[in-house]
Chain A
Amino acid sequence: MTTGLLEARDVVLGYSGPVVGPLSFTLERGDVLGLWGPNGAGKSTVLRAVVDGPRLLSGSLVREQGIRVAYQPQHPVRLAHMPITGREFLRYMGAGQRPPPSWLAPALGQRIDRLSGGQFQLLCIWSRLAWGADLVLLDEPTNNLDPRATAALAEMLDHEAGSRAVLLVSHERAFLEQVSTHILEVKAWS
């Protein structure tokens, strides 16, 4: 039985061999746990483990039964031609019920394949948060974002974190310190 939405105890993760660990953490609703570390440390591997990617080589990684998980990968899928507006995108991703932040308005009437990388990144992240997931996994959410967009992202996370848990990977320490309730440093397996 878990004590939170997600609980990791002495977790070692990998594929053919260990990549990262051992790690321990517990995520409750309202938590924003930032995973910080250098490139190649295995931060994304931890997110993938929740999605059911890498093998759990030792330890335990348990999530609460029945929770809904939303995962935003480091490189969102972008098709060369995608005739769907930002508004339709949010509706199809189950995030159409909630009004999006005002600064997303310019993106709503455009085809998503014509948005800039930053606009699409923010649209995707909003769709993950507004979908109603209990646990949101964000891999390098500041990719493609300028300082103003990063500030908008931080505001969005601050506003939305209360009802869910967020597990967040970033190599930007300052951003993590701004948005996280606690930070875990991830080191590669050695």
Chain B
Amino acid sequence: MELSAVLDPLFRVPLAAGLLASIVLPVLGNLLWLRDEWLAALGLAHLAAAGALLGLAAGLPALAAAPAGAGAGAGAKALLGARGNTAYGAMILAGWCATLLFAANTRLGDALAHAMVDGQLYFAQTEHLLALISLAVVAALMLPWLTPRLMRARLFLDDEQANRLPAWRWHLAMDLLAALAMALGTVTLGLMGAFALVFVPPWLAFRLAPSWRWAMLLAAAGGLVAYLAAFLLAMTLDQPFGPVLVTALLAEAAGAAAMAPSLARPSRPRSAPEP
């Protein structure tokens, strides 16, 4: 496919939808990394994929069913207070087997499951774009309220209990926001593409950024740059978008690591010098 095809009006909505996702997901990914819950994002993406397929089998649009699937997982996680790799692993397994079983037992399931995994960005429609605009607006409104509370929960985790705070509000809000983001990212960019956006740019930002503000900017920029490169490459080389996006993100991380070998090491020396 020629490069000029990228500018075709047919691809403007998919380009814009993916562009929004490539900015919002890494920003939320920073908060997931803060909470040490980036693996939960993979679980939510799997549950979103399963939800989308189940919804399609029931005659519901994927754009509604995917958030329902991820939201159910987030709700269960909040209700049970489930944190840690065991809970996230269970979410991944539940979503994975549900996705493949639906694929094996429904008429269009196999093709749709592949689409969900591979990422069918070019079929994103106006509804996807509007949903992602809504997600971006909600995230922009909630982040100033969420960030200090999640910071304090991470760094002074006893404050909530000591002060009998209604902490469930912000923890559930973050769980649902992450679920919505992973669901919309999964149906737009594909399961692994969505996960890679909440994993790789924040991984880089946490190591490179001199401040939290810069961490947010770097994560968004990292997602955006990789996305645009992937969009161009996938179109011109006629490759599935999802794997190309993941490749672009991994290449970005590898390039940064090559330029700054200290990225892989903890920030503090093992025995920090005393004042």
Indicate whether A116 sits within 8 Å of B274 (C-beta atoms), given known contacts A71-B156, A83-B215, A92-B148. yes
Among B152, B157, B159, max chain A CB count under 10 A is at: B159
Among A78, A83, A113, max chain B CB count under 10 A is at: A83
Among B147, B156, B161, B209, max chain A CB count under 10 A is at: B156
Nearest A residue (CB) for B208: A83
Among B159, B162, B213, B274, max chain A CB count under 10 A is at: B162
Chain B residues lying within 8 Å of A137, measured Cβ to Cβ, are: 162
Interface residues on A, range: 35 or more
Chain A residues lying within 8 Å of B211, measured Cβ to Cβ, are: 83-85, 88, 111
Which of chain A's residues 21-64 have a Cβ closer than 8 Å to chain B? 50-52
Q: Are A51 and B210 in contact (CB under 8 A)?
A: no
Assess whether B206 is interfacial by the CB under 8 Å rule: yes
Q: Are A93 and B273 in contact (CB under 8 A)?
A: no
Q: Are A77 and B154 in contact (CB under 8 A)?
A: yes
Query: B208-240 CB contact bits vs A (8 Å, 1 = yes)?
Result: 111111110000000000000000000000000
Q: Are A81 and B274 in contact (CB under 8 A)?
A: no
Interface hit among A141-149, A156-164, A168-176, A177-185 = A141-149
Q: Are A51 and B147 in contact (CB under 8 A)?
A: no
Indicate whether A71 sits within 8 Å of B267 (C-beta atoms), given known contacts A88-B213, A146-B275. no
Q: Are A77 and B157 in contact (CB under 8 A)?
A: yes
Chain A residues lying within 8 Å of B152, measured Cβ to Cβ, are: 92-94
Indicate whether A81 sits within 8 Å of B266 (C-beta atoms), given known contacts A69-B162, A144-B274. yes
Partner of B206, one of A77, A83, A89: A83
Interface size on B, residues (CB 8 A): 31
Indicate whether A52 sits within 8 Å of B161 (C-beta atoms), given known contacts A81-B207, A83-B215. yes
Chain A residues lying within 8 Å of B163, measured Cβ to Cβ, are: 68-69
Assess whether B268 is interfacial by the CB under 8 Å rule: yes
Assess whether B151 is interfacial by the CB under 8 Å rule: yes
Chain A residues lying within 8 Å of B268, measured Cβ to Cβ, are: 78, 80, 113-114
If over half of B's interface residues share one DSSP class (helix, strand or loop), that class is named, otherwise mixed; here it is helix
Nearest A residue (CB) for B219: A83
Query: A92-127 CB contact bits vs B (8 Å, 1 = yes)?
Result: 111000000000000000010111111100000000
Q: How far is the CA of A83 from the CA of B274 in the complex (A)?
A: 21
Chain B residues lying within 8 Å of A78, measured Cβ to Cβ, are: 268
Q: How far is the CA of A137 from the CA of B158 in the complex (A)?
A: 11
Q: Are B159 and A82 in contact (CB under 8 A)?
A: no
Q: Are B273 and A71 in contact (CB under 8 A)?
A: no
Indicate whether A93 sits within 8 Å of B210 (C-beta atoms), given known contacts A52-B161, A71-B158. no
Assess whether B155 is interfacial by the CB under 8 Å rule: yes
Partner of B275, one of A73, A114, A118: A118
Query: B110-153 CB contact bits vs A (8 Å, 1 = yes)?
Result: 00000000000000000000000000000000000001100110
Q: How far is the CA of A51 from the CA of B157 in the complex (A)?
A: 11
Q: Are A146 and B274 in contact (CB under 8 A)?
A: yes
What are the 9 closest A-B residue pairs judged by CB atoms, nearest first? A113-B267, A83-B209, A83-B215, A92-B151, A80-B266, A51-B162, A81-B206, A69-B162, A84-B212
Which chain A residues have a beta carbon within 8 Å of chain B's beta carbons?
A: 50-52, 68-73, 76-85, 88-89, 91-94, 111, 113-119, 137, 144-146, 148-149
Which chain B residues have a beta carbon within 8 Å of chain A's beta carbons?
A: 147-148, 151-152, 154-159, 161-163, 205-215, 266-268, 272-275
Sample of 22 A–B contacts (CB below 8 Å): A50-B162, A51-B161, A52-B162, A69-B163, A71-B159, A72-B156, A77-B154, A80-B266, A80-B267, A84-B151, A85-B211, A89-B155, A91-B148, A92-B152, A93-B151, A94-B152, A111-B267, A113-B267, A116-B275, A117-B274, A119-B275, A145-B275
- 13 new A-B contacts, CB < 8 A, other than A88-B211, A88-B213, are A52-B161, A68-B163, A81-B266, A81-B267, A84-B211, A92-B147, A92-B152, A93-B155, A94-B152, A111-B211, A111-B267, A117-B274, A119-B275
